[in-house]
Structure 1
Amino acid sequence: MITPIRSLLDSTQLGQMRALLDRTDWVDGRSSAGAQALAVKQNRQLAADNPLALQLGEVILAALSRHPTFISAALPLRIMPPLFNRYEAGESYGLHVDNALRFSPPDRPGQAAIPVRTDLSATLFLSEPDDYDGGELEIESSFGAQSIKLAAGDLILYPASSQHRVSAVTRGCRTCAVFWVQSMVRENHQREMLFDLDQSVQSLSAELGQTHEEVLRLSGLYHNLIRHWAET
């Protein structure tokens, strides 16, 4: 399931974020690439321990916690701190699959890093589509390749097992934040059914009221499926 999450960040947050990112130092993106990605990755990024990356990452994580569509689609158990990347003319990221495991910083000093199973990948667009040419996120799916270029502040959520690429930027600058999610529900087809069911419950609740018999029936089914499938 490939799911757009609209308006995660508002115009004020985006303006402040872009101004800070334009004034900071970027490093070679290959510094965080795995063996497969090393040969096809050409971009720049903020170091994971850059104080600005940590500061802006907290803003994004807070916005995710308040966005009902993200919560419904991802059913998040753990979210990796966002990474920030930038592509300018001639830069791209060739076809690859994200690593199955990443390691989140420990909660307290002295603890080991926390392994995170990457069920879902996410790209948050920070540049407006008119600011650059090229730079589409291309995701391979059972319906063929999907080319995605969203408005600034919008996020795309997709299975981390998907092959994907970022096409070459030919003009301007593409800035994004990327992160990975371990879901409480491991299987993509189960998350998709739960998302569709939850959207139906929300729609019927608005039309019929939360105490309507059919709304209660479907809501009960949703929560019982969560009990059956969730890992915590």
Structure 2
Amino acid sequence: MLISIEQVLSKDEVRHFRAQLDQASWQDGGQTAGTLARSVKQNQQLADGSDTAVELGEHILRRLAATPLFISAALPKKIYPPKFNRYADGGTYGAHVDSAVMQVPGTQITVRSDLSATLFLAEPDEYDGGELEIEGPFGVQAVKLAAGDMVLYPSSSLHRVTPVTRGARVASFFWIESMVGDEGERTLLFDLDQAIQGLTPRTAPDDPQLLKLTGVYHNLLRRWAST
């Protein structure tokens, strides 16, 4: 399941982010890659513990907590603190799969990567290339969203970032451990929840069928969720 979520950040928030990121000190992204990924990763990243990364990352987490579509799709249990990257001058990231389990730096907390997220912080016309290509059961999907929009996709997917040949692609990226680890179960819950949300505005709140559907959703979540 690949989901685009619009306006996680407003345009004003994006401008605030970019004012700080455009003046930030970037480091070689290969320093944080695994043995295999290091050979195909050519980008820059913000140091995880920097004041800018921490401040902006916490802002993203607050916005996600207030984004119903994200909550519905991810059913988040843990979120790895948002990181920030920059691709320019031919920067690219070849085909790879994200690590299954990650330890949050400076803690004993581990996060199982069920879902990966990329929050775009540069407008599509600011750079050429830089598409996030995600391989799925129906082929490759290329994603290049407006600044402030986010894509959510299974961490098990093979994915890549195509070379940036003009300008700079700036983004935040992070991983989510879901309360429902099975992708098929999580997708069914998302579809059911979205159907309920679609019916609610035009259905009486005490409608027996709506109540039954809501009960089915919560009983399935109760059965499948791990908290």
Structure 2-normalised TM-score?
0.98
Aligned to 2:200: 205
> Could you tell me how far 1:83 is from its partner in structure 2?
0.4
1:9-24 aligned at under 5 Å gives the runs 9-24=9-24
What is the CA–CA distance in structure 2 between the aligned matches of 1:162 and 1:170, rounded to whole Å? 25
In 1, Cα distance between the equivalents of 2:112 and 2:154?
A: 12
Q: Percent identity?
A: 53
Residues 27-61 of structure 1, C-alpha deviations (whole Å, 9 max, x = no match)? 00011101121100000010111110000000000
AA at the equivalent of 1:211: D
The runs of 5 or more residues in structure 2 that have no matched partner are none
Which residue in the other structure is 2:212 paired with?
Answer: 217
Stretches of structure 1 that go unaligned for 5 or more consecutive residues are: 107-111
Q: Deviations over 1:121-160 (max 9, x none)?
A: 0000000000001000000000000000000000000000
Q: Which residue is equivalent to 1:50?
A: 50
1: CA distance, partners of 2:42 / 2:34: 13
Give 1:206 deviation, angstroms: 1.0
Misfit runs of 4+, over 4 Å = none
| Alpha-carbon separation, structure 1, partners of 2:36 and 2:206 | 52
After TM superposition, the score normalised by the length of structure 1 is: 0.96
Q: In the alignment, is residue 36 of structure 1 matched against residue 31 of structure 2? A: no
Counterparts of 1:1-232 in structure 2, within 5 Å, are 1-105=1-105, 112-232=107-227
Per-residue CA deviation, residues 146-201 of structure 1 (Å, 9 max, x unaligned), is: 00000000000000000000000011110000000000000111111000000000
Q: Tell me the distance in 2 between the aligned counterparts of 1:135 and 1:174.
A: 6
> Aligned-residue CA RMSD in angstroms?
0.8
Q: Quick one: distance in 1 between partners of 2:85 and 2:50?
A: 13
Distance in structure 1 (CA, Å) of the matches to 2:115 and 2:20: 27
- Cα separation, 2, equivalents of 1:185 and 1:211: 28
SS of the equivalent of 1:72 reads helix
CA distance in 1, matches of 2:62, 2:194: 22
Q: Which amino acid aligns with 1:35?
A: T
- AA paired with 1:50? S
Letter in 2 for 1:152: A
CA distance in 2, matches of 1:209, 1:157: 32
The Cα shift of 1:207 comes to 1.2
Q: 1:105 offset after TM fit, Å? A: 4.4
Q: Secondary structure at the match of 1:215?
A: helix
Letter of the 2:143 partner, please give it: I
- Distance in 1 (CA, whole Å) between partners of 2:186 and 2:152 is 12
Give the paired residue count.
227
TM-superposed CA distance for 1:212, in Å, is: 1.5
